Amino acid sequence: MENLLRIFTVPEAPGSTLSRLENDISANLAGFLQEHIVAEETDLVEIERDFSDTLIPERPVYVSEQTEFLLDKVVAQSVHTASPSFVGHMTSALPYFMIPLSKIMIALNQNLVKTETSKAFTPLERQVLGMLHRLVYDEPESFYSQWLHDAHRHLGAFCSGGTVANITALWAARNRAFGPDGDFPGIMKAGMFAAMRHYGCEGTAVLVSERGHYSLAKAADVLGIGRDQIVAVETDGHNRIRPDALESTIRRLRRSNIRPFALVGVAGTTETGNIDPLDSLADIAAKERMHFHVDGAWGGPTLFSETYRKRLKGIERADSVTIDAHKQLYVPMGVGLVLFRDPAALKSIEHHAQYIIREGSKDLGSATLEGSRPGMAMLVHSALKIIGRRGYALLIDNGIGLARRFADRIEALDDFELVSDPELNIFTYRWLPPAARDALRDADPERCRQINEVLNRITRYIQKTQREHGKAFVSRTRLTPERYDRQLITVFRVVLANPLTTDEVLRDVIEEQREIAASMQDHEDIQRLNQLTRCPAA
């Protein structure tokens, strides 16, 4: 027991493996990562062998031993998400101050569920919600001085990420749409079945474009709405919801006595970075009396940019807005938030208990899906203050500018095709050699379909090979562009949020993809492509 107590009381001895490691990390994090994250790809199945033992060790191992294990087997096989050439996902570099500040946050081990375990962290979290609420809704000072710290109101809720933020938004929307009415105690108490019976409908639905994030389907499942009731509305050639298709979908649902209670607009689709026409959606939501939620998990911080914030026009009319802090606010993984225009909106999900989150207390746990929750607000607060509005504006403008230049460059090349044009800092493209491009223009629809199928396999091969080489990473997804009659097309997807990514880095990405394509000359897919494109008449 005495030895065991030491791990809670005695600080790490100077000179130990762990403290040496800590020094290395503090002194030169980039160097440390470079040294420890190996580039070449090891098969996941092989890595699983190091993690196959399910016995908890009876006798303790030394901290130094475990540290060595982690360095060797985990750190070395982790992904270098901060690398300027890792441009495939939404997870990128962190500002240096996040590492020491995270350590303080962990050391304090606050629990935001109630003020008894968080004290100053609670007003701090509310302040951050107020700051971001103001970024979106820009209410007058009097609004914020009235509601920011009010025990009975919430400007939003912190959570673990965009998924839980979207669930929270739809949860509140559902409970308000099917709330208490006469004898009916509300869906919160009576459940979905009784709610449908009381309100006289056969089902309910949430409307979103076909580019909506899969977290909405999870939300629909959890909330008892049903995954099929996330009704995907057709998009236009720019991956934005078509208001006319939306209106006819609403009519169709109403004819079958299905009552849609929420409309979700996307501000920065995950695959293509496009923004729905939020103003038109706000009009339709108002007319149809639906809750209007904007999923700005990715694109929300675009509001910092004086140049680009107009692209999100209409977001200020949303009833709720999701923003992920661990994406474009550059905070470590594990924090997102949802904001509500009406500070009373979260009352619809409030839950109180006796020993905790008492009625009238300022405990944040009463209005969040999660119970115990870390003090991540401290990191968001720090980022907002240290980076500031201007800093974020620069970061946003830089990413969008970089995407624009890269997309223009791709458009000018005769062996690549831009598939979705960047509206923000995300876009898609693919390798398309001149012969295939000509054939796709001239050949009959059936042959075009065959060519695209082969190209899909080649795109996949290039993407996987590039990832395995370990120098650069782009992701891939599948889209249904109008230009190819909505056939499924596999594309490379780039997300440009790392401020250290440069035009040169991107030039190298393309160059490597071109080399991989060239190295495939004997590959059956290339031969098949040559066959299909050589004589379009055959």
Q: Which residues bind ligand PLP (CB under 6 A)?
A: 90, 161-163, 166, 213, 215, 266, 268, 270, 295, 297-298, 324, 336
Q: How many CB atoms lie within 10 A of CB 391?
A: 17
- Residue 285 contacts residue 246 (beta carbons within 8 Å): no
Closer residue to ligand PLP in complex, CB, 215/368? 215
Closer residue to ligand PLP in complex, CB, 300/433? 300
- Cα distances from 420 to residues 84, 212, 407, in angstroms, run 22, 16, 9
Report the nearest approach of ligand PLP to the CB of residue 314 (Å): 16
Closer residue to ligand PLP in complex, CB, 213/259? 213
What is the edge-to-edge ordering of all strands in the sheet holding 203-209?
Answer: 156-159, 336-340, 320-324, 291-295, 258-266, 203-209, 230-233
Report the nearest approach of ligand PLP to the CB of residue 527 (Å): 38
Report the nearest approach of ligand PLP to the CB of residue 170 (Å): 12
Closer residue to ligand PLP in complex, CB, 21/266? 266
Query: Nearest 5°: phi and psi at 119?
Result: 40, -115
Report the nearest approach of ligand PLP to the CB of residue 212 (Å): 8
Report the nearest approach of ligand PLP to the CB of residue 386 (Å): 22
Gap between the Cα atoms of 232 and 238, Å rounded? 16
Closer residue to ligand PLP in complex, CB, 83/269? 269
Judged by DSSP in three states, 452 sits in helix
- Cα distances from 521 to residues 94, 278, 429, 517, in angstroms, run 40, 47, 21, 8
Report the nearest approach of ligand PLP to the CB of residue 23 (Å): 32
Token pair, residue 459, equals 């795109």
Judged by DSSP in three states, 491 sits in strand
Specify the amino acid at residue 82.
A
- Residue 159 contacts residue 338 (beta carbons within 8 Å): yes
Supply angle C-alpha 104, 3, 73, rounded to 5.
Answer: 60
Query: Nearest 5°: phi and psi at 529?
Result: -60, -45
Q: Which helix (H) or strand (E) holds 3?
A: helix 2-9
- Cα distances from 240 to residues 77, 208, 231, 308, in angstroms, run 38, 10, 15, 17
Closer residue to ligand PLP in complex, CB, 235/452? 235
**Residues found in the chain:** 538
Query: Nearest 5°: phi and psi at 200?
Result: 65, 40
Closer residue to ligand PLP in complex, CB, 377/532? 377
Which single residue brings its beta carbon nearest to ligand PLP?
A: 162
Report the nearest approach of ligand PLP to the CB of residue 463 (Å): 20
Specify the amino acid at residue 141.
E
Report the nearest approach of ligand PLP to the CB of residue 57 (Å): 33
Closer residue to ligand PLP in complex, CB, 301/343? 301
Report the nearest approach of ligand PLP to the CB of residue 91 (Å): 9
Closer residue to ligand PLP in complex, CB, 175/322? 322
Report the nearest approach of ligand PLP to the CB of residue 256 (Å): 28
- Cα distances from 268 to residues 48, 159, 445, 470, 486, in angstroms, run 35, 20, 32, 28, 21
Closer residue to ligand PLP in complex, CB, 276/316? 276
